Amino acid sequence: MATTRESNAHRHRSGAVLPMILTTVLVLLLAAAVVFLGSQEPLARALAAGRAKELPAGVTITAVHTPGDPDDVANMETNPVGAAGDLEARTGEYPVKPDSLLPVAEEWVAGRIAAFSGGADGAGAGADDAAHLELGWSPILRAGPYLGVDLTSTVTPEPGETTHQSVYADVTSGGAWSAPGDLFTGTAAERVAALVRTAANQPEFGDRPHPSAAEARVLARVAMAAAQLRPEGLVLPLDGDRALLLEAEPAADYLTEAGNSILAAAVAGTGFAGIPAPPPPPGRPAGPDRLTFPVRVDCSSASCVALTFDDGPGPHTGRLLDILAEHDAPATFFLLGEQTRKRPELVRRMAEEGHVVGNHTWGHPDLATLEPREIDRQIATAADEIATAGAPRPVLLRPPYGSLSDSARDRIAAAGDATVLWDVDTLDWKTRDTKKTVAAALTDARRGSIILMHDIHEPTVDAVADIITGLREEGYTLVGVPDLFGGTMNKGGIYRDGR
């Protein structure tokens, strides 16, 4: 009997111990899980946010904002990108004011051109003769001392998508900040990626596939590079026409001190300080730093426009001269030395018929990529060849592609030349379409415009008669480039229009 009681007691103690052991094990496992998850807090938080059904307070999905018009930015100056080699495969322009914006914009443009060209192996989109790279910009913020611009890059026909890069500059202190590196904190990328995954759960996101964690990180990087600091808050464009909008308070945790300062000015709606106006041009008296030309038309009273032609003389230049003579219309030609050697009689005829003859270098290289000695050679050999052909030695120079560097500017000035760019690009080399060339010239021309065309293309020459007629019907007077500036230009000066 005693043995039976002892046996029952033993079984009772054993039955009580087992739940205690299981409970202890469970507690230890839970504790380990807490420690592990605590050590993985950023990842756990990001994953949790990605699975969340609702966006955090102050974060919504909105439409992508349309950037502003570049012409609305007073005193802005731009550099044209021009074409790339014989393919003439890149065009557009980028902002160069305020001065702090210039190196940032130039670095970005160089990177996009390098990606297009494909580097040393030439494997980029530019390897396709039909490919074209278009670079551009638009203002996205003007508030207080801050100017924000959206730099854009589009490759056509494939892939046809536009890459965006936001840059902000202080027009008073000279600072400049690029997104995302200068504007976002180090932890922002993972948090934005989590917001992207959460946004994909919302009906406003549409029928787009839900991004994986890796895809969300890519979308986050693209959105942050295109970040817009606006009166509404921080706008992060997503693919398509949707964007994340973070109001100022939640946005503050994502932004650096510089980013928050810019956002504060945007939200406050502070009036834009503006890009400082350039100093007034120096007086007109001739001197050692002046170039003087005969004045044929007083453009201070007439609405003058200058037609300019690059890359010749070519096989169609003779017919172009016939058209200009028939319409009694002057033009300015920027000639290549190597082409001048092939057709010197056309150069002589240009001069005899009263056209302005300028220099376009010997072989059409990108001067911004050359050493100073080679820049000098390109300028001098072309000028010598043009003078040998029977035209006055040129003192106006148009750099190929409109591409300039500090070194190129210095060497052009040292040669005693003035640089002539343009403000109306007909894109005739790209379209090779007579009607489109006529439309571009007539639509974009304004008083003082310098219109860019290429007489090496037959459709361009076909367009010239209608351009002359159309411009005159609109009240414009056709002149050579020097007339736009009263017959006096500065050595080393850079001229884009006569306004």
Q: Which of 132, 150, 164, 310 is catalytic?
A: 310
* HEC profile of 81-98: CCCCHHHCCEEEEEECCC
| Token representation of residue 280 | 């007034």
Nearest Cα to Cα of residue 454 among 310, 291, 342, 335: 310
Active site residue 454: yes
Where do we find the tokens 């890149």?
A: 90
Q: Which helix (H) or strand (E) holds 409?
A: helix 406-414
DSSP code at position 394: P
Q: Which residue has the tokens 């913020």?
A: 141
What is the rounded distance in angstroms from the CA atom of residue 168 to the CA atom of residue 263? 11
Burial of 86 (0-12, 13-18, 19+ CB in 10 A): exposed
What is the distance between the alpha carbons of residues 338 and 437, in angstroms, rounded to a whole number? 26
Half-sphere exposure of 57 (CA within 13 A, CB side): 1
State the DSSP string of 212-235.
PHHHHHHHHHHHHHT-EEETTEEE
Cα(331)–Cα(339) distance, rounded to whole angstroms?
18
Q: Tell me the C-alpha distance between 254 and 12, whole Å.
A: 61
Phi, psi of 454, rounded to the nearest 5 degrees: -135, 115
Q: What's the rounded Cα separation, in Å, for the pair 198 and 207? A: 14
210 is known as an active-site residue:
no
Q: Is 340 exposed, middle or buried (0-12, 13-18, 19+ CB in 10 A)?
A: buried
Write out the two tokens for 332. Answer: 């300015």
Residue 263, judged by CB atoms within 10 A of its CB (0-12, 13-18, 19+), counts as buried
- Can you say how many angstroms the Cα of residue 282 is from the centroid of all Cα atoms in its chain? 31
Residue 272 to residue 72: CA distance in whole angstroms: 12
Considering 454, 455, 457, 462, which one is annotated as catalytic? 454
- Measured CA to CA, the distance from residue 151 to residue 154 in angstroms comes to 10
Question: Collapsing DSSP states into helix, strand and coil, what is residue 170?
Answer: strand
Which one-letter DSSP state was computed for residue 430?
Answer: H
Concatenate the DSSP letters of all residues of 28-72 into one string: HHHHHHHHHHHHTHHHHHHHHHHH-SSPPTTEEEEEPPPP--GGG
Helix (H, G, I), strand (E, B) or coil at 200: coil
Q: Which residues, including other chains, have CB under 8 Å from residue 87's CB and lie 6 or more apart? A: 126, 129
Catalytic residues: 310, 454
